[in-house]
Amino acid sequence: MPDPALVADADRAAAAGDLATAQALLKQATAAAPTDVQLHLKLAAVSKAAGQPRVALAAVHQALTQAPLDFVALVLRASLLDALGESAAGEAWSNALAQRPPGDLPDPLAAAVAKGELVRDSWLAEREARMERGMAAAEAQADSDQRWRMIRFRNNVLRKTQSYSSRPTHFDYPGLAQREFHPRAKFPWLAALEAATDTIADELGSVMQSERAELVPYIQYADHEPLDQWRDLNQNRDWTAIHLWRNGGRAEANSRHCPRTMALLDDFPQPAIPGAGPNAMFSLLAPNTAIPAHVGVSNARLVCHLPLIVPDGCWFRVGAETREWRRGEAFVFDDTIEHEAMNPSGDLRVVFIFDVWHPDLSAVEREAVAALIAAEAPAEGTEL
């Protein structure tokens, strides 16, 4: 335990500008209480003010020995290294800023952090340029998908992105490739889907004009069910769906208005699972509506989006990748990786959505997955 009187004397000396006395008293106090983080930080601050940055840095290191993730200690260390002109200052600021707590900071600390962000950003830019130069020869030889992985690897190392894993809520098949947006080359039928954009949009119009069309909330479950990720949008008509296929059943009230769309779906590898799949729908997101971050049910299937009505500014994030929907530009993504969406406009957004088998599954594996999910679906009422 430090001597309270000793610490009080040090504080009075520092307030009076007698930094040498304050420093001497704090050295005695830290020797008596070597695990007291705040005492080491007091000594560091006084030593810095006294123009002894190396002594201050040693005191900060003692504080970090006890509390390696202490934000104030990390900021003080980074600022001292920066003042000393040390090359490690950029990385030190990166480590400190990674521990920034939520909310506003006191003004002096906020000013230090603002300067530190500039140092960190300059360090990152130099580091990224060095990596790009080193990888340039390999990237030049890579195909588009290999190049994507190389760039993502670099961005992960730079902490510009992070790794997101597939986390299905129910059905987790091992060994499948995990990718936010899967490469187009895996799905040669995407071109035919995109070519039919106008046809599908016309049939959407027919459904929406039909008096017997069924427009239902996209999310529907009993309030008592343990699915908190959907709480705000459960039974909410800000996000609705016009189903063509739902849990393996054909939605006749809607699908009869979409014969060409239904015929087109026959050409795609949709999972046929009694009580669970296929699924296909028009997804309608109201103006100024957000879909919160969530994950899907099964990684054995992927999800395809074909945007039909897309106001400016509508975006879709899967893992570390964010895209703006563009009419007629389809993509396939893994909905068991965290994803979210936003329509910030004043107009309706509509996307045609359907599921397809994960391309890594062989025919016999698809059979096994279908058998297991079919055995569960009637009891669980779980969509694929």
- pLDDT digit string, tens, across residues 91-127: 999 999 999 999 999 999 999 999 999 999 999 999 9
Tell me if domain 4-121 and domain 184-380 are identical in fold: no
| pTM for the whole structure | 0.79
The average pLDDT across 53-78 equals 96
Provide the residue ranges of all domains of the chain, joining segments of one domain with +.
4-121, 184-380
- Whole-number Å distance between alpha carbons of 284 and 335: 18
Q: Is the pLDDT reported for residue 217 higher than 90?
A: no
Residues 94-110: b if buried by 16+ CB within 10 A, e if exposed: bbbbeeeeeeebeeeee
DSSP three-state, residue 36? coil
The two tokens of residue 291 are 């879909």
For residue 165, which phi and psi values (nearest 5 degrees)? Answer: -105, 155
Total Cβ atoms within 10 A of residue 157: 12
Average pLDDT, the chain: 91
Paired residues of 298 in beta bridges: 171
Q: What CATH architecture is 184-380? A: Sandwich (2.60)
Paired residues of 285 in beta bridges: 239, 349
Say which CATH superfamily domain 4-121 falls into. Tetratricopeptide repeat domain (1.25.40.10)
Q: Which amino acid is at 115?
A: K
Burial of 17 (0-12, 13-18, 19+ CB in 10 A): exposed
Residue with tokens 């008592």: 224
Residue with tokens 């000793």: 6
Let me know: does 228 contact 293? Beta carbons within 8 Å. Answer: no
Give percent of the chain with pLDDT exceeding 90.
83
The average pLDDT across 271-288 equals 95
- Whole-number Å distance between alpha carbons of 254 and 327: 22
